[in-house]
Amino acid sequence: MGFVVSVGMEVHAELLTKTKMFCGCPNAFGGEVNTRVCPVCLGLPGSLPVINRAAVRHVLATALALNCSIARRSLFHRKNYFYPDLPKGYQISQYEETNPIGYHGHLELPTGKRIGIKRVHLEEDTGKLLHLPDGRSGIDYNRAGVPLMEIVTDFPPDIHSSEEAKQYLQYLRLTLIYLGVCDGKMEQGSLRCEPNISIAEEGSKSLGVKTELKNLGSFKAVALGIQHEAERMEAAVAKGETLRQETRGWDEKAERSYPMRVKEFESDYRYFPDPDLPPMKFEDAFIEEVRNSLPELPTARHRRYTSSFGLSDYDAELLIAEPAWAEFFDACVNKGGEPKAVCNWMNGDFAKMLNESGTVVSESRITPDHLADLVALVSSGQISGKMAKEVFETSFATGQMPRDIAQKQGLSQLSDKEAIRKIVIAVLNENADSAQKYRSGKTGVLGFLVGKVIQQSSGRANPQLVNELLIEELKR
């Protein structure tokens, strides 16, 4: 009996704002514990929250980028539960059954597959428990009150494999980065993903019992975790065991999941509207202003690179991996660089040099002008591909324009027909026996003669021209 895997994805993204969600404390990562706290984010009695407008705008932009409908009126609720990382005894969130800021959207992958989005809402992050080596535990409230966006996929799920889940997460992360709303650093926890996984017999109309997976700190962990969890469930069902709804943790080292707790139910949280916070209202003019400010998103860029420029999926994916990298590519092409050539330089030599020097594109001396210049020198036959590599290395190290380097070093390729012809004739005279062999049908000696001519020209003669002129002279 075959099984169908269904995966729902709950993603939490910490928003890039100067201050926290409901107070003026800085929103930052790291630093000394409990140094970015105030009465509001510590939940001291009498303190009042104030909504961070930048965070609301970030969520609105994300909801629009994910093709969501936008609520005209949206409320904050208190989600009540008792845990030490939550100083107020409740988390300010948006209740599932009411209008979140964005709902009924989708994320389209470059393959054309659409992943339905159920809701995009705004809440606040909790503090962090720290377990010290000596057995004591402490709490860091620096993260408490940091604006957090939750993005939940549709039900029933559109995702049916670990690979699809990974792709969804990759494109969602890139979308957030392009929007400038989240830095997408999974290893720092600013982007967190909790998939829920269920299996059902093929053809079955209902979905099976789901488990939620936590502690997935990387794309690899997400893909592996989902795959292993589906396999674990299939094996359990095959043994006749009954699956139960639960939350499981992912052990990255052992590559297996372990039980954490049986899932709490919604009613445990006693949601109610936060009386200290007014409803958020979204006017059409504001929605349209934000919509018009959206950048070109990764899926659209991927599609443009493959369909308009004929780049491979692989190349397009490398180019869009970072906004600055994609912008560099576009700038080069706008300066007349042939897209395929620009792409090959970027994903090849340029990426390698940046990697080896431990720098990023924005710190590099190479600008789009440099690369467009290099590509033009090669395509017009002024320098050979081999010379171009050397020129590019010098340009990378010094910031000089490729054209200037080629001129200074006399690297420019010899494409002057008459100059090459002179060398060709001299070489044929010096190698009369080889010329004779060629004329008697042993055309294999041509390569030897081409080599001689290029050698005579100190490596500068355009090989294609050498070839043509040699044949011309040999036939004379």
Q: How far is the CB of 87 from Zn ion (least distance, A)?
A: 10
Beta carbons of 235 and 39 less than 8 angstroms apart: no
Query: Closer CB to Zn ion, residue 38 or residue 287?
Result: 38
Query: Closer CB to Zn ion, residue 146 or residue 169?
Result: 146
Q: Which residues bind Zn ion (CB under 5 A)?
A: 23, 25, 38, 40-41
Beta carbons of 122 and 19 less than 8 angstroms apart: no
Beta carbons of 21 and 55 less than 8 angstroms apart: yes
Q: How far is the CB of 122 from Zn ion (least distance, A)?
A: 17
- 275 to 78, 122, 142, 433: CA distances (angstroms): 9, 17, 25, 100
Compute the distance between CA of residue 277 and CA of residue 274 in angstroms, rounded to an integer.
6
% helix / strand / coil in the chain, to the nearest 5? 40, 20, 40
Q: How far is the CB of 378 from Zn ion (least distance, A)?
A: 56
Q: How far is the CB of 97 from Zn ion (least distance, A)?
A: 29
Query: Closer CB to Zn ion, residue 14 or residue 194?
Result: 14
C-alpha angle 292-296-300 in degrees, rounded to nearest 5: 125
Query: Closer CB to Zn ion, residue 25 or residue 424?
Result: 25
Query: Closer CB to Zn ion, residue 23 or residue 378?
Result: 23
Token pair recorded at residue 373: 């210049």
Q: How far is the CB of 24 from Zn ion (least distance, A)?
A: 7
Burial state string for 323-353 with b = 16 or more CB within 10 A and e = fewer than 16: bebbbbbbbbbebebbbebbbebbbebbeeb
Q: How far is the CB of 38 from Zn ion (least distance, A)?
A: 3
Query: Closer CB to Zn ion, residue 40 or residue 68?
Result: 40
Backbone dihedral region of 309: left (phi > 0), alpha (psi from -120 to 50 degrees) or beta? alpha
Q: What values do phi and psi take at 13, rounded to 5? A: -125, 125
